[in-house]
Amino acid sequence: MDFRLSEEHEALRESVRDFAREAVAPVIAEHYERHTFPYEIVRQMGKMGLFGLPFPEEHGGMGGDYFALCLALEELARVDSSVAITLEAAVSLGAMPIFRFGTAEQKARWLPKLLSGEALAGFGLTEPGTGSDAGGTQTRAVLDGDEWVINGSKAFITNSGTDITALVTVTAVTGTNPDGSKELSTIIVPSGTPGFTVAPGYSKVGWNASDTHELTFDDCRVPAGNLLGARGRGFAQFLRILDEGRIAIAALAVGLAQGCVDESLKYAKERQAFGQPIGNYQAIQFKIADMELKAHTARLAYHDAAARMLAGEPFKRQAAIAKLHASTVAVDNAREATQIHGGYGFMNEYPVARFWRDSKILEIGEGTSEVQRMIIARDLGL
């Protein structure tokens, strides 16, 4: 058992850490305040190869693994979560379904652009009326000659409305299974397809420099060849994508939790109260020690899930545990970091204010904490 990172992974972690400190930290607060998408940061991440990390070189990837992606997400989220979720969604929800389930033609058409960061893709599963219960999907796609005709809407779709968004993959009901349940399939809808409308961005509590939209499909026609994988495989496809994605979200949550430790440590040494730095008081020391403990154990949980996944072993339960624990820890650490900063913690100019706003969604997106508990309980045989 070796908990140390390989030389390659350590080098990647360091280069992303430097990038986050030097290129992201100085500009992200302004994007966050203005709710603007950080195109320049995305361009630089593309040049670094971050969008291609877990993909083979033959498709334009970096030939790394999913763990490499997780390390990059952790280091980015240590500084900012909008940037981290942009990368997470672009890779694990955007490019990954095409890589895992696409035809040779679909891969050749889309992957080079997506893996270079030149273009982004979104993944549309959630709908205004249903999220956790994907069986409640209402969006329908009907085959008309050699075209799918899509009607319905999707809610909260990340990376779906940027200037460089090339496509969204959407889940839709395409028929009825022999047991009477809905037949779900996944279909690629290129940006700009007539009948596909992207609503203005949401007003969100956090992740303010990330791109999120409601999407509407009104007699939207795409070629029959835009079906992703086999017809009726939509359910199995998104379960696989979400299982993996949970490890990535756990890594992102660990990054936020660690960023809270970084900022609190710095502040505790600088801020004076009653004639000495607040870090001299045991109450503050214990808070920071507990925050470090939580970030560390959550990190071990996602490393374990990623190691199982890369070894080809079952990892569903471990991914749910990692996501559940890391998101809880992120919220806890953001709350304590704000407390340690006192009144300044409530001011948006301090990174911990951003961490606090960005932490809550981690207990909701890519499966709520209740859904993670359902997955764990089911896997235990209940």
- Please list the active-site residues: 366
Q: How far is the CB of 157 from ligand FAD (least distance, A)?
A: 5
- Taking the least distance from each CB to ligand FAD, the nearer of 75 and 363 is 363
Query: How many positions of this chain bind ligand FAD (CB under 6 A)?
Result: 24
The two structure tokens encoding residue 253: 């949550």
Does 132 help bind ligand FAD (rule: CB under 6 A)? yes
Instruction: Return left, alpha or beta for 144; rule: phi > 0 is left, psi -120 to 50 is alpha, else beta.
Output: beta
**Residue 109 and residue 35 in contact, taking contact as beta carbons nearer than 8 Å:** no
Q: How far is the CB of 330 from ligand FAD (least distance, A)?
A: 15
Rounded to whole angstroms, the Cα distance separating 37 from 209 reads 5
Rounded to whole angstroms, the Cα distance separating 293 from 287 reads 10
Instruction: Please choose, out of 5-13, 46-54, 123-131, 341-349, the segment that lies near ligand FAD by the rule CB under 6 A.
Output: 123-131
Q: How far is the CB of 156 from ligand FAD (least distance, A)?
A: 3
- Taking the least distance from each CB to ligand FAD, the nearer of 130 and 280 is 130
Pairing type for strands 140-144 and 147-158 reads antiparallel
Pairing type for strands 165-176 and 120-124 reads parallel
Task: Kindly identify the residues of this chain, within the stretch 164-203, that bind ligand FAD according to CB under 6 A.
Answer: none
- Going by C-alpha positions, the residue among 146, 225, 162, 135 that lies closest to residue 189 is 225
| String marking each residue 93-112 x if it binds ligand FAD according to CB under 6 A | x-------------------
The two structure tokens encoding residue 56: 């083979």
Which amino acid makes up residue 379? Answer: D
Quick one: which of 131, 190, 195, 279 contacts ligand FAD (CB under 6 A)? 131
Q: How far is the CB of 12 from ligand FAD (least distance, A)?
A: 25
Which amino acid makes up residue 302? Answer: Y
Does 370 help bind ligand FAD (rule: CB under 6 A)? yes
Instruction: Please choose, out of 49-57, 138-146, 250-258, 360-368, the segment that lies near ligand FAD by the rule CB under 6 A.
Output: 360-368
Quick one: which of 62, 68, 87, 89 contacts ligand FAD (CB under 6 A)? 89
- Taking the least distance from each CB to ligand FAD, the nearer of 301 and 361 is 361
Quick one: which of 38, 52, 124, 245 contacts ligand FAD (CB under 6 A)? 124
Does 126 help bind ligand FAD (rule: CB under 6 A)? yes
**Residue 170 and residue 160 in contact, taking contact as beta carbons nearer than 8 Å:** no
